[in-house]
Structure 1
Amino acid sequence: MFKKLRLKKGVKVLLASLGLISVIGFTESKQNGETCKDVVIRIDNQHENYFVNEQDVLSLMTSAGAHVVKGASFRDLNLKEIEERVKSDRFIKKAEIYKDLKGNMLVNIALRRPFARVVQNNGPDAYIATDGAVLPVSDKFSSRVVLITGKYAGQLVKNDLMETDEGKKIFAMLKFINDDEFWKAQIAQIDIDKKLNMTLYPQVTKQYVEFGQPEELEEKFKKLEIFYKQILPQKGWNTYDRVNLMYEGQIIAE
């Protein structure tokens, strides 16, 4: 009697399991066969960089209309492949595409943010993003950021900054400036020569700053802060034409 009871319970558990598997299989089959009802695009744009909008993302998803997304069966849609098409735009840092329970395709986009613009005499301008990526300029939107000029500008845009030792040094310099509200507001332009020596041009005062190599950043900017906050208020804002920070422990102003 006890064995029969255990057998019946075992059969019930087996039947319940088979039923659950059937339901899951039916649900997955139904979802895979569903058509994409709508495409919902969400762009994380907290810094208000309007280089990419929803229409741009949709165009990337469909290869400018060559592929059908909305109304297509999810069985025929390769979401990873669509993600790769979207991420081909350099301004798009991250793209996540998935299907919700209502049959919609959800597209979450994170944008890169420029924090410098490279200006070239013999080539197109380019942006440098906060992750070191080199981005093209856009006719759609222009970002107000520090300008980079000089003979090294053309070399700078050949690779993302984190791919070379020189690029990493320049990136560290840009990040230092961008992370400090005072320097971010004060420095308008950085000229870089072939040996990586830098000259800074301020927004307001007339003197240029001979910074030298992008090294010992904290020490050099501390000296420059002393010059702006202690020396200039006493001597006059337009007394000097240039400031040299290249010598250890010294501020040379002429």
Structure 2
Amino acid sequence: MRISMAYIKIVVLLLLVIGLYGFASVRNAKRPMGNIAIKFVGEENLYLTEEAVNKLLIQKLGALENRAKDAVVLDSIEKIVQSSPMVKTAQVYRTVDGKLISKIIQRKPIGRIEGNSRFYLDSEGKRMPLSRYHSARVPIITGKITEKTLEDAYVILEYISQDDFLRKNVIGIHIKDEDAYLLKLRVEEFVVNLGSVENLDEKFKKFMAFYVKAAKDNSLDTYAEVSLKFDNQVVCTKI
């Protein structure tokens, strides 16, 4: 009989715990939630702001702070945040204490197009609108803008972004034609004629060898153009 009573007590205790947990979970789910916490990952320069993300969510879903927690679908919020043209990826989740958080990785511009329309090229070669909150310090692309020349410009920009010297010194790309890409440097007056985008590694190696020698000879300011489009040689045009 003692064993039976002890067993019954344990079962009753378990049922009470389960009931209390279920009641607390339901009550917690019905509580109104606060605003979503926005966390930007990686980039210090914000092309998007917390205020802009919250405004986008309000436009699509209404005010979140008045919603019951169980009425908020995380996937829906995630898709809305990712719909921003400034967002690369977004992850939305709840913390243990019930707070709603969105971690956002922004797209990264590597070049800025200045033509009939103005926009960025991002790190994946896709068009990205300019931001009202921040202007990226990236090379400016001008001249003959077509889908083909934009693809070529992306190849050049991607190469430049991987090289410390070029990333700091190349401030512009002027497109004369599909086989004439001219680089403008931050300090030097001459332009660098790459020709086409073929064999970029070889061309930039030739340029660096020329640059080191010309800097040593103090002759950099005597040139108007440095052409790399010919095989195995650097052709310089003097001022």
Normalising by the smaller structure, the TM-score range is 0.7 to 0.9
Kept in 1: contact 2:91–2:102 (CA 8 A): yes
Question: What is the CA distance between 1:38 and its match in structure 2?
Answer: 4.0
Q: Tell me the amino acid that sits aligned with residue 105 of structure 1.
A: L
Tell me the residue number matched to 2:114. Answer: 119
For 1:109 and 1:180, locate their aligned partners in 2 and report how far apart those are by CA, in whole Å.
Answer: 27
Distance 1:240 1:194 in 2: 22
Q: State the TM-score, normalized to the length of structure 2.
A: 0.83
State how 1:3-18 maps to structure 2 within 5 Å.
none
Q: Secondary structure at the match of 1:126?
A: strand
Within the candidate set 150, 155, 163, 2:147 is matched to: 155
State the Cα deviation string for residues 188-247 of structure 1 (Å, max 9, x = none).
111224425311111111111110111211100001101211134316122121111111
Gaps of 5+ in 2: none
User: Any conservation in 2 of the 1:38–1:103 contact (CA below 8 Å)?
Assistant: no
Corresponding position of 1:54: 50
CA distance in 1, matches of 2:214, 2:83: 50
Deviates more, 1:24-33 or 1:140-149: 24-33
Code of the aligned partner of 1:58: N
Per-residue deviation at 1:68? 1.8
Match of 2:185 in 1: 202
**1:28-67 paired onto structure 2 within 5 Å:** 28-44=25-41, 46-63=42-59, 67=62
Answering whether residue 125 of structure 2 is matched by residue 132 of structure 1, we say yes
The 5-angstrom pairing of residues 173-212 of structure 1 reads 173-195=156-178, 197-212=180-195
Deviations 1:65-87 (A, max 9, x none): x6120131122222211211111
Identity %: 26
1:103 counterpart = 2:98:
yes
Q: Which amino acid aligns with 2:87?
A: I
Aligned-partner Cα distance in 1 for 2:36–2:146 = 40
Question: Secondary structure of 2:66's partner?
Answer: coil
> Residues 21-41 of structure 1: CA distance to partner in whole angstroms, max 9, x if unpaired?
767755654443332134222
Contact 1:63 1:85 in 2 (8 A): no
Deviation at 1:55, TM superposition (A): 0.5
| Partner residue of 1:146 out of 130, 139, 144 | 139
Contact 2:48 2:131 in 1 (8 A): no
Question: Following the alignment from structure 2 to structure 1, what is the Cα–Cα distance between the partners of residues 18 and 196?
Answer: 66
Structure 1's 79 and 239: CA in aligned 2 closer, same or farther, altered over 3 A?
Answer: same
| Structure 1 gap segments, 5+ residues each | 6-10, 158-165
Structure 1 window deviating more from structure 2 (24-33 vs 204-213): it is 24-33
User: Is residue 225 from structure 1 mapped to residue 218 from structure 2 by the alignment?
Assistant: no
Supply the RMSD in Å over aligned alpha carbons. Answer: 3.0
Q: CA deviation at 1:61?
A: 1.5
Instruction: Give the SS at the match of 2:102.
Output: strand
Q: Does residue 1:170 correspond to 2:187, yes or no?
A: no
Q: Aligned equivalents of 2:64 and 2:163: distance in 1? A: 44
Counterpart of 1:42 in structure 2: which amino acid?
K
Counterpart of 1:160 in structure 2 is none
